[in-house]
Chains A and B, each alone.
Chain A
Amino acid sequence: MKPPPFAYHAPRTVDGVLAALAELGDEGKVLAGGQSLVPMLNMRLAQPEALVDLSRVDGLDAIEVTDTHVRVEARVTHERLRRDPRVTPAVPLLRQALDWVAHPVIRNRGTSVGSIVHADPAAELPAVLGLLGGHMELRRVDGSREVAGRDYLLSPLDSDTAPEELAVAAVFPRPSAHTGSSFLELARRHGDYALAGVGAVVRLDEDRRLVSAEVACIGVGGVPVYVGLTEALRGQPHDALDLADAVGLVRAAIDPSDDIHATGAYRTHLTGVLAERALTQATAHATHEEIAA
């Protein structure tokens, strides 16, 4: 469990990072919090020629909260984001999801952007980004681009990031009024990656009837599975939800395989249960938000 030799770069500026990545191409890899990459290096599952460490970069550590979004830069750790008092009122789903991410020691180092780039199928934040319709900001020496959260994850541990690109920030839009959200999951042990997890976003109308609903399921496919439930739930009163059809749709949308921690059949069942609970909580949350507003 020792990595093979690699070169180490620790640029002081974003431009320095971009220049290093451009020069290294396929041979370079960004090192953020290291909570996923370092174990992979130690197990020799990743063998980059060079690492470009973000920890010395001046900047890249802002959490920007505006009327329209929360923008999280690449060096922001899970724990900083989780504790920032401006974030929860703006995008409650972030806090709801971050509470499930790993343990404090890992959240203290692991970055939120890094977790999205890393694209673990059971990671919470990629699903949050997708569910809220957010996007990633990517930069390279000669330009920048934005990629929608839903399109960003390609397959397990593979996101739409070129080797010479730096993910600069993740941008999470603020939900509109009367919107509620929830994130629920079940892990074998506290803080582990989940057996399955469900994020839900529900919007109500003036009469507290459902206008739209959607869930994102993690841990049950190569990338988060988004299931639109507006058709199934539109018009239902907030206090008399009938979620049977919605749960059926969620279970039909996923096809998890068996692994050492659970059977696919159990994960399918579990995801349905979590979806039902998350939709119920999100609806309650939406009525709350309305009162608060």
Chain B
Amino acid sequence: MTTKLFGTPVARSEDPRLLRGEGRYLDDLGHDAYHVGIVRSPHAHARILGIDVTAALEVPGLIAIHTFDDLPERLREPLPLLIPHPSIRDGRTQYVLARDEVNYLGEAVAMVIAEDRYAAEDALELIDVDYEPLPPVVGPEAARAAERTVHAGIDDNVGARYEQTIGDAAAAIADAPNVLEFRLDIERSASMPMEGRGTLARWDADESMLRVHSSTQAPTSVRAAVAAYLELPLQQVECVTPDIGGGFGVKIVHPWPEEILVPWAARELGHPVKFVEDRREHFISATHERAQVQFLKVGFDDDGRILGLDVELLHDHGAYMPYGVIVPIITSTQLLGPYRIEQYRVVFDSVYTNTVPVTPYRGAGRPQGCFAMERTMDRIARHLGKDRTDVRRVNMLEPEELPYDYGLIFQDGRPYRYDSGDFPASLAKLKELVDWDGFEARREAAAAEGRLLGIGMAAYVEGTGVGPYEGGHVLVEPNGTVQVATGLSTQGQGHETAFAQIVADELGVPFASVRVVTGDTRRFRYAVGTFASRAAVMSGNAIHLAAVKVKDKALKIASEALEVDVEDLELAEGQVRVKGSPETAIDLNVVATMSNPLRYAFDESARIATQFATPASLDRPPVGDDDEPGLEGTDYYSPVSSTFANGMHAVEVAIDPQTSDVTIERYAVVHDCGTLINPRIVEGQVLGGVAQGVGGALYERMAYDANGQLNNASFMDFLIPYSTEVPHVDIDHLETPSPLNPLGIKGAGEAGVIPGSAAIASAIEDAIGARVDAMPIGPAQVHALRCASDERSAIPGRDRVEVPR
């Protein structure tokens, strides 16, 4: 028997290549290409009065300069609003090059094309843009105050307002014996992949074909967008993703201005053109996420059971809203976590500010929602003097209650319904993994050494594998190689390995004979993209279904050739063979050859498929009505609704009592993503997520000043944790298979990041005894909180601080 690969920690087959530096990233391609440089607005808000390029024309190596005015008509239309939603009142998007106004620092104003990036940057410096600065709106509260506006015609700066309810939260809160009301703040962060954005385009005039390489999470949609803007038939555009050095959400946005400008310029010039973003550009012209202000009001009984929850979110979506309201919708729904909340009202205002636009970054609104709910749980526990895990436990949905439909609409326009999970079991596992009950002893021992310890936890549920669909193609070549393709792209998730495991198992072939290609429209044309922890669920199942088709076809062909019933055959060790008597077998590659009736024996192995070689049945055509040549299959997976993964993190921190410096001493994760294809890859995903969670909790924020200048647009000052800042993580899994898909899997890509801020806030709060309401938090903030709490500790009843709404 071939050993089963599904569920085993197969080493990632892509790693040797990537670790040896043999990856092919966008900038490794197109050595002959011209380079694009972009003039970017130095102002957060300004009118463009004129652009003088004269001085730049003298730069050696300059090829062309373009501004809005000399673009063709189609390129002078605003970029698309990718995900329309009824709550969007006035959804503005930017132009590929600013028309007459810029609305954030970094917005594209003019394009330079030169022989290399050095010359392009020399020219950029010499382009003189005459700006009339306008007063900027910075921060969501400035947007709400609406003393200034971002866009003419939107006087309240509100792009969308959306309310969802379950029951009557206001009445439930009014009747509740305990009520707390408070405000929470989360700063901006960003995906920050190692490789920034990048696009290379070649126009082949002989073939009238445009080939676009782009570092994108949505190649099929980039292809469609480029074809639309360049007014080309879809068949004349291909989009290929090379190796992608991380995406984390930012590369789902498309088309970027450069993704349209580069192909257009390549066709205009009849010469390859590329744009490779640098780090500063990534800070100011790719997108950000996270920033929210949250106002909560919760009513609960004396056991801590939530009776009613009211949440108002002020969501800062930046200067434009290309991705609609996906992030605040996810926050509004996923906030509920693993808890039974029967009276709920959530409303968000998604507001315009003169800052970089906000679109999903790994977690996509969930870390904010988790922060809101888990801070609420901790407040309730503190108010009642109860153990924080007990309060969570009384609110948790019991496994028998699943599937559980909240009666809300999720980000895919479909019911918000948890399909599987066992939250109490996960909590029990977590408490054991981190030794929750032994903590007080540890705290005392540490206190004796003059160290402050704190413990905290947070739980989340993550809707993954959103639709509408993905597809897969599996082909067995006559040489035995199995080619697998799916349309979505890969940014480091290990798809080459995980998808090969699925196919190798189904077809009974060696893992090494399976080759997986992702994100190449030449290989697979229909796809949605890589986001929302969906690739394994969507493409994994689609590829599985395609492999089943191939298997069925192989069985049918072999059954005829061996004159054995299909039921008596199996696929194993690269053969189709008779169950129980494996010596009666036919090699799968021979089946592949036979699947394609031939006239010409182009090589020795092909002879068996030629017309005089096969003992054909003369009354049937060589390819039947319900058949096709070739041992291949395509299939699609399209679920009725998302599948919901879940998990819980616990953290122990030590705080230096004098410097207030925070050290993470323990980090424990219990994770349930249904059936595991590859535990090692899942753990890698979780660990990477934890690292980003630590970043969001302790380090990362976009330091905009009141003028909308971004004061930390480099890795010197925007602090991403180094490996030295990321703790050791203990991981345990729970597998509750999803009933929604054949493989029983739920997504795992984003999970690790979601509860980071909530769990770390909980631990810090526990250590210092002062409320933690805003993230991220560094030693200066911890110190300030401790000083303030010393001053206030005399005031009774400070739980009930009034919050302005």
Contact = CB atoms under 8 A, between A and B. Distances in A.
Partners in one complex: yes
Interface of A: 1-5, 39, 43-44, 103, 186, 188-192, 195, 260-263, 265-266, 269-270, 273-274
B418 to A, nearest CB: 38
Query: Ordered nearest first, which 6 A-B pairs have the shortest CB separation?
Result: A190-B724, A266-B780, A262-B780, A1-B278, A260-B703, A273-B658
Contacts of A266: 779-780, 783-784
Interface stretch (B18-26, B116-124, B499-507): B116-124
Nearest to A260: B703
Contacts, number: 66
Interface string B687-724: 00000000000010001000000011010110101101
Contacts of A43: 280, 714
A273 B118 CA distance: 47
Interface residues of B, number: 28
Nearest to A1: B278
Interface in B258-299: 278-280
Contact of A186 (B117, B661, B711, B784): B661
B653 to A, nearest CB: 16
Contacts of A189: 699, 719, 721-722, 724-725
Given A1-B280, A3-B118, A260-B717, 4 more contacts: A1-B121, A189-B725, A192-B719, A266-B780
A171 B498 CA distance: 59
A104 to B, nearest CB: 11
A270 B280 contact: no
A261 B780 contact: yes
A191 B661 contact: no
B784 A260 contact: no
Contacts of A261: 717, 719, 778, 780
Contacts of B54: none
Contacts of B711: 260
Contacts of A3: 118
Given A44-B125, A189-B699, A273-B659, A263 B780 contact: yes
Contacts of B122: 4-5
A56 B369 CA distance: 57
Interface of B: 117-118, 121-122, 125, 278-280, 658-659, 661, 699, 703, 711-712, 714, 716-717, 719, 721-722, 724-725, 778-780, 783-784
A227 B278 CA distance: 43
Contact of A188 (B280, B658, B719): B719
Nearest to A188: B719
A194 to B, nearest CB: 12
Contacts of A265: 784
A218 B117 CA distance: 38
15 contacts: A1-B280, A4-B118, A4-B121, A5-B122, A43-B714, A44-B121, A186-B661, A188-B699, A188-B779, A189-B699, A189-B719, A189-B722, A189-B725, A260-B711, A261-B780
Given A189-B699, A189-B724, A260 B780 contact: no
A39 B715 CA distance: 11
Contact of B722 (A39, A190, A195): A190
A262 B778 contact: yes
Contacts of B703: 260
A186 B659 contact: yes
A1 B196 CA distance: 13
A1 B27 CA distance: 14
Nearest to A42: B278
A44 B661 CA distance: 35
Given A260-B711, A266-B783, A5 B118 contact: yes
A39 B717 CA distance: 14
Contacts of B659: 186, 270, 273-274
Given A186-B779, A188-B778, A189-B725, A2 B118 contact: yes
Q: Which of A103, A189, A263 has the most CB of B within 10 A?
A: A189
Nearest to B719: A188
Nearest to B701: A260
Contacts of A2: 117-118, 121
Nearest to A184: B659
A1 B120 CA distance: 11
Contacts of A103: 722
Nearest to A193: B716
Contacts of B721: 189
A273 B786 CA distance: 16
Nearest to B698: A188
Contacts of B280: 1, 43
Nearest to B720: A189
A191 B724 contact: yes
B358 to A, nearest CB: 20
A188 B716 CA distance: 11
Contacts of B725: 189-190
Q: Which of A1, A5, A263 has the most CB of B within 10 A?
A: A1
A136 B779 CA distance: 36
Nearest to A103: B722
A101 to B, nearest CB: 15
Contact of A262 (B117, B278, B779): B779
A195 B121 contact: no
Contacts of B724: 189-191
A270 B219 CA distance: 50
Contacts of A192: 719
Nearest to A269: B783
A195 B779 contact: yes
Contacts of A39: 716
A59 B711 CA distance: 41
A192 B722 CA distance: 10
A95 to B, nearest CB: 20
Nearest to B778: A188
B323 to A, nearest CB: 27
Q: Which of B122, B717, B780 has the most CB of A within 10 A?
A: B780
Given A1-B278, A189-B725, A190-B722, A263 B717 contact: no
Given A2-B118, A191-B722, A263 B784 contact: yes
A261 to B, nearest CB: 7
Nearest to A196: B659
Contacts of B783: 266, 269-270
A184 to B, nearest CB: 10
A23 B118 CA distance: 27
B660 to A, nearest CB: 8
A148 to B, nearest CB: 30
A188 B722 CA distance: 10
Nearest to B120: A2
Nearest to B281: A1
Contacts of B121: 1-2, 4, 44
Nearest to B658: A273
A198 to B, nearest CB: 12
A191 B658 CA distance: 21
A274 B779 CA distance: 14
A263 B785 CA distance: 13
A1 B35 CA distance: 13
A244 B783 CA distance: 20
A195 B712 CA distance: 15
A190 B703 CA distance: 21
A260 B780 CA distance: 10
Contacts of A191: 722, 724
A159 B122 CA distance: 29
Contacts of B719: 188-189, 192, 261
A244 B381 CA distance: 40
Nearest to B782: A266
Contacts of B779: 186, 188, 195, 262, 266, 270
A43 B699 CA distance: 24
Contacts of B716: 39
A269 B279 CA distance: 34
Nearest to A273: B658
Contacts of B125: 4, 44
B573 to A, nearest CB: 48
B126 to A, nearest CB: 11
Q: Which of A188, A263, A265 has the most CB of B within 10 A?
A: A188
